[in-house]
């Protein structure tokens, strides 16, 4: 059964993009909490996930729009400057859905051109499903600007994902993906707004979201900016490089006009950002000669695992560099600033000769040369560094991994003891949670006390860990029904979409919309129950008749019959169903009378109670039906 048209994506897209994601390096997968669950699946589970049966029965059927997959795990993630950003962890299946939607839109994008100066976090065409290669290539391109251009301006956008205007985005999607159906666009928007609480969601390293934001939303930004630059007679030539929302404009002009051109560029950027409803980050804006551009590349820190297939780092670096780094960090004053820690990292690891910036070198040591941390001098230094655990606040992931890589029981025991002590302090420093998470990732989440600390400090993160990092069975196998109409109900994408739309409305506290969608969901599902029980008129010409379930008298007549067969159905249930049916016919979203707009005696809480009743009643009836026909 092919229902992919409702959700846009098709099986071939699902198979290609999901398979590319699953074929990533296993160490990379294990080191990130959003991909960790996939690193644990068996070959059999992988084959099932990639099968057409799974896609048809769970994705195109709409079954994936259930409460488990729609649960949001809102938490925070560290930036390397010590700041925190709000992110949302989502179910592994939903993570793959977003990847596939992005890839689908990339194929549909009629206005897509190969811009070698625009990069998003990954590359669908090359099958790269994370930002390792794309950001590395971008950084090399930025450094190469020194060869042809004398000046540059660098800027980025404040909180880009969360401030992205959804109206503008879907106007651009409609323009660029003209063959996309209106109903799938409606689904994409509702899905994104659901996980973003009305905005574009912030979900770590999802190539689908990065593509949508980079290649579709900012396309108009680029076009408007280029139009401005073409008209400026003071600029002899220019080149733009952009990685998601990080933008470099390299240009040439006379030294006499340099200051004026810089002001022009800032004004152009302000004007274009205003049109696109975006805000530039003036604190990170740089205007300088390209001979200094490496400073911006190094300062623009991305926490990624380097791909070293084409570089022989071991010919250039050894353990003495890490020893020097640790010794200099130990000598820092108490509670150092991020700038002081970063300055030491740059001074020790920076390599202008080979154009390797310090985060790249550091991550090579941590993820590709783990054995180096078992050097006795390094272990001794890290033992002292743990006493200065405040230094680890700005780079918790990297420093935590250094200590874990030593495999030294005494050091790791001291490290854990220090973490547990700080979990008990008030206020609890947030970076301790990130250090704990790195340990748990490395040790398959086998540390009860650390998990209990996370449970107390970050309950949503703990829920995600329990559900997806400890539980191997997150890939569902939909139930097969013997009854034809219950099986059709299970595979009805419209039914599941109606319930999803109720969840969207409820997520935004839209009571009338939520009530309308849930009542429609109730009526449609009840039609399948009537058909399954063989009620007169419930099936016409072999198809379920949805008209019958909209007539409350017909429903109550069937319920009375089922009561005689053992259904728990009371007089109070009957009265409540009649009341709810009347409200449905007064709801402006269902009926032209729209009486609820001027005679609304139903409060928000009362509408919620009606929905809760319908949920419980549906469960009760469904259990009865299954017992009768299965």
At a CB cut-off of 8 Å and minimum separation 6, what does 244 contact? 119, 120, 121, 160, 210, 213, 214
Give the model's pLDDT for residue 20. 97
Asked if 252 contacts 238 with a C-beta cutoff of 8 angstroms, the reply is yes
Average pLDDT over the chain reads: 89
Asked if residues 330 and 390 have their Cβ atoms less than 8 Å apart, the reply is no
* CB neighbour list of residue 134: distance below 8 Å, 6 or more residues apart: 119, 120, 121, 122, 123, 128, 243
Strand order in the sheet with 118-119: 118-119, 237-243, 246-252, 151-155, 286-289
Do 538 and 523 form a contact (C-beta atoms < 8 A)? no
Tokens 């930004």, residue located: 221
pLDDT band per the 50, 70, 90 thresholds, residue 434: very high
Q: Which residues contact 351 (CB under 8 A, 6 or more apart)?
A: 316, 357, 358, 361
pLDDT per residue over 527-554, tens digit each?
999 999 999 999 998 899 988 777 888 8
* CB count in 10 Å sphere of residue 607: 21
d(CA 322, CA 580): 69
Return the C-alpha torsion angle 558, 560, 566, 567, nearest 10: 70
Residue 447: band (very low, low, confident or very high) from pLDDT cuts 50, 70, 90: very high
Whether the per-residue pLDDT at 295 is higher than 80: the answer is no
- Short-list 602, 395, 615, 421, CA closest to 518: 615
Q: Tokens standing for 567?
A: 């259904």
pLDDT per residue as tens digits for the range 404-425: 999 999 999 999 999 999 999 9
Would you state the pLDDT for residue 596? 64
Question: Considering only 112-121, 279-288, 353-362, 577-586, which range has the smallest mean pLDDT?
Answer: 353-362
Q: Residue 6 pLDDT more than 50?
A: yes
User: Is a pLDDT exceeding 70 seen at residue 11?
Assistant: yes
Question: Could you tell me which CATH class the domain 484-629 is placed in?
Answer: mainly alpha
What lies within 8 Å, CB to CB, of 380 at 6+ separation is: none
Q: Could you give the CA distance from residue 346 to residue 364 in angstroms, rounded to a whole number?
A: 15
Measured distance CA(38)–CA(23) in Å, rounded: 10
Which are the contacts of 44, defined by CB distance < 8 A and separation ≥ 6? Answer: none
The pLDDT, as a whole number, for residue 355 is 56
pLDDT for the residue 136: 78
pLDDT at 190 > cutoff 60? yes
Which range has the worst mean pLDDT, 371-385, 399-413, 422-436, 596-610? 596-610
Q: Is the pLDDT of residue 468 over 90?
A: yes
pLDDT at 19: 98
Output 5 or 394, whichever has higher pLDDT.
394
pLDDT digits (tens, 9 = 90+) for 256-291: 999 999 999 999 999 999 999 999 988 778 999 999
3-state secondary structure of 248: strand
Q: What angle do CA 15, 16, 21 make, to 5 degrees?
A: 95
Q: Has residue 304 got a pLDDT over 50?
A: no
Higher pLDDT, 606 or 176: 176
pLDDT tens figures, 202-235: 999 999 999 999 999 999 999 999 999 999 999 9
Q: How far apart are the two ends of the chain, measured CA to CA in Å? A: 22
Least confident of 374-388, 487-501, 532-546, 578-592: 578-592
- The pair phi, psi for residue 88, each rounded to 5°, is -120, 125
For 587, left (φ over 0), alpha (ψ -120 to 50), or beta? beta
pLDDT of residue 79: 77
Instruction: Give the whole-angstrom CA distance, residue 308 versus residue 380.
Output: 28
What pLDDT is recorded for position 305? 39
State pLDDT tens for residues 48-100. Answer: 999 999 999 999 999 999 999 999 999 999 876 667 889 999 999 999 999 99
Q: Is the pLDDT of residue 625 over 50?
A: yes
The pLDDT, as a whole number, for residue 261 is 95
Q: Tokens 């600033």 map to which residue?
A: 337
CB 6 within 8 A of CB 494: yes
The encoded tokens of residue 430 equal: 């947030």
Question: CA torsion sign, 449 to 454 to 460 to 465?
Answer: negative
Averaged pLDDT, 95-110? 95
Q: What mean pLDDT do residues 591-605 have?
A: 64
- Contact predicate 198/164, CB 8 Å: no
DSSP at 392: G
The Cβ of residue 149 has, within 10 Å, a number of other Cβ atoms equal to 21
Tell me the backbone φ, ψ of residue 94, rounded to 5 degrees: -65, -35
Check: CB of residue 204 under 8 Å from CB of residue 34.
yes
Domain ranges for the chain, please list them.
Answer: 1-108, 113-301, 313-443, 484-629
Give dist(CA 64, CA 144) in Å, integer: 46
Rounded distance between C-alpha atoms, residue 624 and residue 553, angstroms: 20
Mean pLDDT of 503-514: 91
Count Cβ atoms within 10 A of the Cβ of residue 611 and give its class: 0-12 exposed, 13-18 middle, 19 or more buried.
buried
Same fold, 113-301 and 484-629: no
Q: Directed axis angle between helix 376-387 and helix 319-330, to 10°?
A: 20
Between 485 and 293, where is the model more confident?
A: 485
* Helices (H), ranges, 533-566: 552-564
Are the C-beta atoms of 375 and 319 separated by less than 8 Å?
A: yes
CATH of range 113-301; options 3.30.370, 3.30.70, 3.90.550, 3.30.160: 3.30.70
Peptide bond into 427 cis (omega under 30): yes
pLDDT exceeding 70 applies to what percent of the chain?
A: 90
Q: In angstroms, rounded to a whole number, what is the distance separating the alpha carbons of residues 17 and 1? A: 21
């Amino acid at each position: 059964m092919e229902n992919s048209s409702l959700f846009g994506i098709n099986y071939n897209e699902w198979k290609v993009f999901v398979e590319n994601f699953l074929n990533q390096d296993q160490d990379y997968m294990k080191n990130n909490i959003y991909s960790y669950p996939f690193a644990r699946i068996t070959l059999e589970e992988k084959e099932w996930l990639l099968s057409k049966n799974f896609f048809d029965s769970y994705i195109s059927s709409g079954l994936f729009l259930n409460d488990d997959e729609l649960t949001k795990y809102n938490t925070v993630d560290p930036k390397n400057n010590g700041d925190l950003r709000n992110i949302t962890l989502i179910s592994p299946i939903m993570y793959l859905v977003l990847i596939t939607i992005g890839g689908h839109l990339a194929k549909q994008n009629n206005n897509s051109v190969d811009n070698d100066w625009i990069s998003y976090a990954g590359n669908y065409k090359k099958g790269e499903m994370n930002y390792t290669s794309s950001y590395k290539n971008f950084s090399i391109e930025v450094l190469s600007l020194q060869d042809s251009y004398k000046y540059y301006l660098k800027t980025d956008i404040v909180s880009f994902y969360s401030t992205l205007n959804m109206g503008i985005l879907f106007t651009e999607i409609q323009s660029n993906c003209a063959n996309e159906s209106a109903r799938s666009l409606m689904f994409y928007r509702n899905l994104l707004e659901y996980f973003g609480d009305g905005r574009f969601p912030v979900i770590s390293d999802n190539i689908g979201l990065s593509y949508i934001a980079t290649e579709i939303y900012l396309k108009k930004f680029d076009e408007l900016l280029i139009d401005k630059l073409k008209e400026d007679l003071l600029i002899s030539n220019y080149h733009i490089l952009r990685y998601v929302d990080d933008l470099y404009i390299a240009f040439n002009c006379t030294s006499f006009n340099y200051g004026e051109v810089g002001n022009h560029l800032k004004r152009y950027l302000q004007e274009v950002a205003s049109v696109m409803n975006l805000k530039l980050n003036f604190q990170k804006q740089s205007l300088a000669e390209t001979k200094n551009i490496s400073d911006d590349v190094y300062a623009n820190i991305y926490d990624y695992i380097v791909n070293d297939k084409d570089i022989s780092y071991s010919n250039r670096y050894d353990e003495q560099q890490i020893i020097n780094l640790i010794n200099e960090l130990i000598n820092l004053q108490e509670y150092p600033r991020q700038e002081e820690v970063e300055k030491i990292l740059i001074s020790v690891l920076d390599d202008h000769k080979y154009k390797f910036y310090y985060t790249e070198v550091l991550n090579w040591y941590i993820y590709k040369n783990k054995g180096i941390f078992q050097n006795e001098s390094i272990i001794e230094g890290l033992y002292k560094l743990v006493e200065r655990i405040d230094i680890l606040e700005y780079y918790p992931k990297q420093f935590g991994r250094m200590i874990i890589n030593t495999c030294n029981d005494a050091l790791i025991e001291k490290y854990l003891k220090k973490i547990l002590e700080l979990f008990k302090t008030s206020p609890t420093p947030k970076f301790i949670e990130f250090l704990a998470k790195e340990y748990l990732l490395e040790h398959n989440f086998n540390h009860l006390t650390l998990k209990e600390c996370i449970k107390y400090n970050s309950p949503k993160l703990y829920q995600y860990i329990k559900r997806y990092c400890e539980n191997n069975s997150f890939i569902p196998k939909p139930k097969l029904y013997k009854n034809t109409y219950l099986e059709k109900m299970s595979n009805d994408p419209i039914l599941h979409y109606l319930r999803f739309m109720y969840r969207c409305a409820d997520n935004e506290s839209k009571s009338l919309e939520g009530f309308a969608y849930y009542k429609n969901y109730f009526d449609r599902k009840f039609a399948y129950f009537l058909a399954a029980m063989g009620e007169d008129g419930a099936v016409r010409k072999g198809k379920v008749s949805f008209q019958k379930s909209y007539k409350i008298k017909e429903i109550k007549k069937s319920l009375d019959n089922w009561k005689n067969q053992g259904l728990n159905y009371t007089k109070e249930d009957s009265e409540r169903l009649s009341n709810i049916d009347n409200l449905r016919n007064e709801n402006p979203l269902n009926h032209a009378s729209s009486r609820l707009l001027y005679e609304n005696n139903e409060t928000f809480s009362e509408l919620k109670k009606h929905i809760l009743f319908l949920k419980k009643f549906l469960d009760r009836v469904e259990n009865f039906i299954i017992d009768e026909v299965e």
